[in-house]
């Protein structure tokens, strides 16, 4: 789901800026939701961010355990966003080869986890740690775009 209708009322002169703003807004929503989902899944299975003792013995944090419903939902949600973002990248930023390669590798990894039915914890860990700073980064990008338009 692209939110290009919302930023169109703000960024009028440059369609590239408007597309970038729409992409950043979608990314903020995606990374916020997926970070909360994956963090909840990880903590529910005895993982702690700083390695402090959480009261459990870590027995539930088995990287070879079958995928859980929450872990699978988080991976499917992330896969959907990656597919949409991949299409966006091919249309508007085809020169970003490294980012496109990153998307393909991530899609293959998440697809393998879903197909095999195991490995959701390792995938959730990668997603959580990779997406946790994106709300801040995208908010900064949005404010820069709005500031360049004289709206901030």
103-120 confidence digits (pLDDT tens): 999 999 999 999 999 999
Could you tell me which residue, 74 or 150, shows the higher pLDDT?
Answer: 74
Rg (CA), the chain: 18
User: What average pLDDT does range 57-77 have in this prediction?
Assistant: 82
> pLDDT at position 106, please?
93
In angstroms, rounded to a whole number, what is the distance separating the alpha carbons of residues 8 and 29?
Answer: 18
The pLDDT tens digits for 45-61 are 877 766 555 555 555 67
Which tokens belong to 32? 């916020």
> pLDDT at position 114, please?
96
User: What average pLDDT does range 97-103 have in this prediction?
Assistant: 91
**What percent of the chain has a predicted confidence (pLDDT) above 90?**
32
Query: Which has the minimum average pLDDT: 45-54, 69-78, 131-140?
Result: 45-54
User: What average pLDDT does range 112-136 have in this prediction?
Assistant: 91
Are the CB atoms for 40 and 70 separated by under 8 Å?
Answer: yes
User: What average pLDDT does range 86-96 have in this prediction?
Assistant: 85
- What's the mean per-residue pLDDT of the chain? 81
The answer to whether residue 5 scores a pLDDT higher than 50 is no
pTM metric for this prediction: 0.76
Cβ burial of 131 (10 Å; 0-12, 13-18, 19+) is buried
Residue 63: closest CA among 130, 128, 118: 118
In angstroms, rounded to a whole number, what is the distance separating the alpha carbons of residues 76 and 70?
Answer: 10
> pLDDT at position 49, please?
66
């Amino acid at each position: 789901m692209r939110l290009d209708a919302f930023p169109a009322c703000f960024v009028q002169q440059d369609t590239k800026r408007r597309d970038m703003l729409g992409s950043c807004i979608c990314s903020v929503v995606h990374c916020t939701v997926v970070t909360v989902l994956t963090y909840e899944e990880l903590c529910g299975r005895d993982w702690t961010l700083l390695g402090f003792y959480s009261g459990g013995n870590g027995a539930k944090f088995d990287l070879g355990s079958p995928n859980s419903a929450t872990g699978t939902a988080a991976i499917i949600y992330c896969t959907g966003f990656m597919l949409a973002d991949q299409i966006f990248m091919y249309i508007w930023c085809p020169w970003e080869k490294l980012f496109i390669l990153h998307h393909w590798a991530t899609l293959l990894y998440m697809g393998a986890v879903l197909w095999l039915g195991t490995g959701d914890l390792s995938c959730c860990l990668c997603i959580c740690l990779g997406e946790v700073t994106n709300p801040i980064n995208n908010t900064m990008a949005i404010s820069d775009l709005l500031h360049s338009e004289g709206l901030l």
